[in-house]
Structure 1
Amino acid sequence: MIYTLTLNPSLDYIIQLKSFQEGKVNLSESEHKLPGGKGINVSQVLKNLGHESVALGFLGGFTGDFIHKELLKKDIKCDFIQLKEDTRINVKMKNKNVETEINGNSPKIGEDKKEELFKQLEKLEKGDILVMAGSVPLSFESDIYEKILAALPEGVKVILDTKGKALESAVKAKPYLIKPNHHELEELFDVKIQNKNELIEYGQKLQKMGAKNVAISMAGDGAFLITEDAVYFGNVPKGVVINSVGAGDSMVGGFTAGIAEGLSIGDCFSRGIAAGSASAFSKNLCTLSEVENLINEIKIEKIN
């Protein structure tokens, strides 16, 4: 079974404006609400690609109820731990080609709820896949992903998509795959990466720190995959970017779907790039047909 873990989900409130004037009343052209959070997005992509998953994490209040109901409408299995406080709201305000985000603070998560999460994860079995994605709530220490990895039953394959100190600590516990983008690599190592050779160099540093495989996304410039045996580069297919939100999560979802189907790691990589691109070229998260339409445009090249 595939599980996704979103420690810090959100209700995403998206507002489209004709124009924005600070300090004045602004009227929206349109608005809509979506369940948000990187792991939740991965579950939605997996469902679109024909794979079942169980969405785990913490939800609370009327915002948590909304997220839960929306996922159930999509026939996505959920096993969230319930909190008393409301799940945070993230506001995304779009004005022409400019997007401004206001992210709410995460609710308080008590020690009893943390223990409940670890007991829940003890039930995973050898052969299961766990995708852990997103930021760390204020109630957790930055090494929470490392602690989860260390406590998991043997044989659970872990895909991790986070950044900063949470990523730095977690790689020591040897996840199967991590997926930083080039900006997150720069932030982690406090450097300005000048070229693709340096990008590979810092990706390999993460591998030496413990990660088995490292996928590095570079938006429209393609992606690298660093494995134990080789370095691969994959191009991005041609298309018009409509919405980049969720593209990275879709790449993780596509890669995870490939693992579940028993594909080679190169084919998993190709599937991930296609899924990420399909979401970027659409208003919504990618569908299976959109991914299949792009997959043949992606060429995976072995660098060394």
Structure 2
Amino acid sequence: MIYTVTFNPSLDYVVQMERLTPGEINRTTVEHVYPGGKGVNVSVVLSNLKVKSRVLGFKAGFTGDNLEHMLEKFGCDTDLILLKDGFTRINVKINAGEETEINGQGPFIGEDDLKNLYVKLDLLKEGDILVLAGSIPGTLPSDVYEQIMCRLQGRGIRFVVDATKDLLLNVLKYRPFLIKPNNHELGEMFGRNLEDEDEIITHAKKLQSMGAENVLVSMAGDGAILAAENGEIYKSRPPKGKVVNSVGAGDSMVAGFLTGWLNTGDYKKAFQLGIAAGSASAFCSWLAGREEIEALLKEPA
């Protein structure tokens, strides 16, 4: 079973408008409400690809109830912990020629709430996959990813971590199965700008030497690079298409990679499905479905 953890999930209010003019009344042309959060996105795309996962995390208030109901409609299993106060945050995503985001703070998560999450995580068993994705809310310890992985290490659980800089570097000692920085985040970890593929590959291998088994580096319009644990380096340009919404593309890539690896055990095929899933979501107004992903997968490389 795949489990995803999203500490601060959201309802995403996604709108399009011809232009955004600060200080004036702006009218939308298209609007949607979707469940949001990096781990949530991974679970939704896994469900679209017919792979079962369970969403772990926290919910609060009427927005939390709506989030859970929406996830269930998308075919996701949910096991969210109800918080006493506040409400699950609402994030506003505005596409008006360029993308603008206004993200809410989210509810307070206390020590007892975190302990309740640990109780659920303790039920994971050998062969399960745990996806830890996104930032850590300010009410939680900054090393909570480390705490979780330390608690579960040695039990045959594969960890997938999609986080930035120190949050990612600090968990490498627990040998995560997969990490997914983008090229800019990879450079930030080493205090430099990575100018070409050779530099990206060199630094991806450095992360492997520090503990990561597989390093998947997304590069937006330049595609992606995978440094696999079998010693191979896989590179691919993205399929051709118009980018509509970049939110969730990286999470879709993680879901595609995991689906491909679980179905075939082949890193090249996993990488190819990851590229197709990430690109398909970038070409959609939200997260891509199975048909959109499989259509890109069939395109010649």
TM-score range, shorter chain: over 0.9
Check whether the contact 1:39–1:131 (CA below 8 A) recurs between aligned residues: yes
Displacement of 1:269 in angstroms is 0.9
Distance 2:286 2:92 in 1: 17
The verdict on how the C-alpha distance between 1:106 and 1:169 changes in structure 2, with shifts beyond 3 A counting, is farther
Displacement of 1:75 in angstroms is 2.5
Letter matched to residue 79 of structure 1: D
Matched, 1:274 2:276: yes
Distance 1:163 1:262 in 2: 29
Distance 1:295 1:21 in 2: 39
In structure 1, the residue matched to 2:211 is: 210
SS in structure 2 of the partner of residue 290 of structure 1 = helix
In structure 2, the residue matched to 1:140 is: 140
Mean alpha-carbon deviation: is it higher for 257-266 or for 205-214? 257-266
Check whether the contact 1:270–1:295 (CA below 8 A) recurs between aligned residues: yes
Provide structure 2 residue ranges, at least 5 long, that are not aligned to the other structure. none
1:75-154 to 2 correspondences below 5 Å? 75-83=75-83, 84-95=85-96, 97-152=97-152, 154=155
Displacement of 1:64 in angstroms is 0.9
Letter matched to residue 141 of structure 2: E
Displacement of 1:63 in angstroms is 1.5
Distance 1:105 1:239 in 2: 34
Check whether the contact 1:146–1:171 (CA below 8 A) recurs between aligned residues: no
Check whether the contact 2:247–2:286 (CA below 8 A) recurs between aligned residues: no
The structure 2 residue matched to 1:233, chosen from 227, 232, 235, is 235
Could you tell me the TM-score, scaled by structure 2's length?
0.94
Matched, 1:221 2:247: no
Matched, 1:35 2:35: yes
Displacement of 1:234 in angstroms is 2.1
SS in structure 1 of the partner of residue 253 of structure 2 = helix
In structure 2, the residue matched to 1:56 is: 56
Check whether the contact 2:182–2:218 (CA below 8 A) recurs between aligned residues: yes
Distance 2:17 2:296 in 1: 32
Displacement of 1:230 in angstroms is 2.2
The verdict on how the C-alpha distance between 1:241 and 1:26 changes in structure 2, with shifts beyond 3 A counting, is closer
SS in structure 2 of the partner of residue 78 of structure 1 = strand
Distance 2:233 2:179 in 1: 15
Identity of aligned residues (%): 49
Check whether the contact 2:110–2:140 (CA below 8 A) recurs between aligned residues: no
Displacement of 1:16 in angstroms is 2.2
Provide structure 1 residue ranges, at least 5 long, that are not aligned to the other structure. 300-304
Displacement of 1:298 in angstroms is 6.0
SS in structure 2 of the partner of residue 92 of structure 1 = strand
| Deviating 4+ runs (over 4 angstroms) | none
Distance 2:284 2:17 in 1: 20
In structure 2, the residue matched to 1:302 is: none
SS in structure 1 of the partner of residue 13 of structure 2 = strand
